Structure 1
Amino acid sequence: MGDTAKRWIAEGRRRLRAGEVGSLPVVVVLTIVWITFQSLNDNFLSPRNLSNLSVDIVGTGLIAVGIVFVLLLGELDLSVGAISGLAAAVFAVLNVQNGVPEWLALVIAVLAGTAAGAVQGYSFARTRVPAFVVTLAGLLTWNGLMLYILGTSGTINLDENGLVAQLTGYYFTQDAVAYAIAAVAVGLVLLVSWLDRRRRVAAGMPHRSLQVIVARAGGLAVIAFVSAYVLNRFQGLPLALLIFLVVVAGLDIVLRRTHYGRQVYALGGGVEAARRASLGVTRVQTAVLAVSGTMAAVGGLFLASRITSVSQSSGSGVLLLNAIAAAVIGGTSLFGGRGSTWSAVLGMLVIQSIASGMAITDTPAAVQFMITGGVLFAAVVIDALSRRSQEAHGRA
């Protein structure tokens, strides 16, 4: 065994003892879920099912990305389901019933979500009432507004060939497109990692070795090209999945590499400490809830696109619970200050994989809820134990 591999193993053991488990638990759970359902039904890992799975995670996954921002503050947004339904209703009424161009109706719908989130964020920041209370009131308000906007029409069908319908209905059918996008993604990761390393070296800061950077890029390359190959065996690369991954990657950069992102993590570590450090607490909290509202609106439009309709039940049911569960299962801490947008991707993969496996094996929905609840409980326990371990090592 080489010296580099030994250092990796030693570092991994140190991080585990310190409670820094990262995404390891959710990757293990996802692997177990996939192996289990594949053993029960050979169609689970078929190109068709994996392609459908990659589209099904997008709508709720985008909402979960917004939840990640709120959880990083140590708070909870209960209004995202209602906002997603409101945004879909605004779009449908404007476009279908009033003839507003699709692109303009889409922009207005997203801005409606942003405004709803910003109102809640400002109220939360100024009154210092817990966010879950403010957003619970928002849940009722926005759901009522959605019902008022839809009126007695009940259900509005969208144009199946329209812009919004194509969000989840369009696929890049050329094999070369999927492989090219995979190659570009790997190249960008390599470039960003190398530039970050060079900056850290110049500043005398701790940095990753070139071997680690190449190894991580190699692992990403395997995942990217295998995914492209599998998706090409069915209908090609879904536009919805590409948009989802671009949004997740972009917001991850915002959180990890911008002043705003560092302020979000700082607030998650302690609001009073952030106030004494002269951080713009009100501004950041308002912005975080606005981001959550925006992502809820975008997610709601993708969900409407998937079924090409909007109804009085849009944004209801288990949508809110699944969005929160995805963020937590993916590794975002309920205690604030720890997590990333990629948590939403991993969490949604687990939840939707369970749902897909249950559907393929004709398992009752009740069992699906119980299994998902068990996974969520396990994630919360791991989060609590991890935080306790970090506190013991002086890292929390």
Structure 2
Amino acid sequence: MTTPLFRVRDRRGRVLAAGMLALSLAACGSGGASGDGGPTTITFSYLWSGPEAQALEKIIAEFNASQRKIVVKGVSSPDTQKQLASMASAGGAFDISDNFGSNVGAWAAKGVLEPLDEYMSKDGFDTADIVPAALKQMTYEGKTYSLPVATHSFQLLYNKKLLAEAGLKEPPKTTEGWAAAIAKLTKVDGDGNLVQLGLGNPESNSTFTTMGYQFGGDWYDTAGRPTPAAPGNLAALRFYTDNVTGKYGVDKVRKFTSGFGEYASPQNPFYIGKVAMVVDGEWQARFIGDNAPKLDWDVAPLPHPAGRPELAGTTQLTASTLFIPRNSKRKAQAWEFMKFLMGKKAMAEFTFALANLPSRLSLLDDAKYDGIPRFDPWLKALKSPNVKVLASMPYSQEYTTDLTAGFDQVTRAATAPDQAMRSVAEKAAGYAK
């Protein structure tokens, strides 16, 4: 998000499908101080599950052991609809939770998030160490409503073996070189059917929004108003149609991609050599090790137009955030736990376990991340002045929905990029006021 386009399981392994787990008072507990003056119990309801939840529970245990005033009870509940319903009720089921930076504006506008500025000011919590682009998404109308416990960015992943077979000694550095590489890495059989694609994963919102930034575009103006038809955005969409669907035929591309395996599985098309290059996030450093350990791959900065060297190092950032619901009865205790999670030790431990990027600038050179293969390019990317982030506004989800529809029209060749984005702009004019 953003905003990434989440499927049943998003790219970081979180199960977000509604109805899978319910936030119930019985499961989460109402917390509170014990009758004998003992510690206050707070509930941390988080979206992570599986190995990610296990890593988080370890950090929760460390916090509980570090002091005697607060006991945190962790509950894995990967259902954002239940999460929001609890926050809108008179008595919530949890005291701290996580979500994505793209939702901060919408949820703050609903009045369901607790502003954090007074807590930060009182404790001298310094945000200077937070990646600026990530912090930008945490605020709404001058107040801070969330903090980024992890960040995510996008780079160019490529199959080294396939590039070598195509006579390419290195990954493309410019978008012009990228176009040439896509052509060399796309193969068809004797019947004209695709058997290998030079560039994959165009069905994801994050691919197209990231590409828009690569070409010098932006999806919001400085006032936070949607700008889907910005010239750079259109150039990115035309790049895809010119070099993939328009060149090889949308029907043949869709026929080929319809047989692709699941994203987070050994059948991912990039893992098995059906796709030579993808624009993807840092979690792939762990996913590939788990699902395709023999894959000969590497990662490089995203290409930029040859005539725009100032765009070198461009990437899109998304954030996993922590927040306190407005209806929590134990906000002070929740803040103490949030500070612990935002500390260097806990953040490094957590992001390393998930192969996510830290939000603290001081952790980007931490030797701990040397243990994740090919992770350094993503870490270095967060130091770039060209880290871009989608604005988080009350209408961001509506905008994402309209962009998704527009991108789908482009990938299906139902509508030309210019027309598709003008249509989105017309819709945006109705909710951007």
**TM category, shorter:** under 0.3
Higher-strand-fraction structure = 2
Higher-helix-fraction structure = 1
> TM-score, normalising length from structure 2?
0.24
> TM-score, normalising length from structure 1?
0.26
Higher relative contact order (CA 8 A, sep 6+): 1
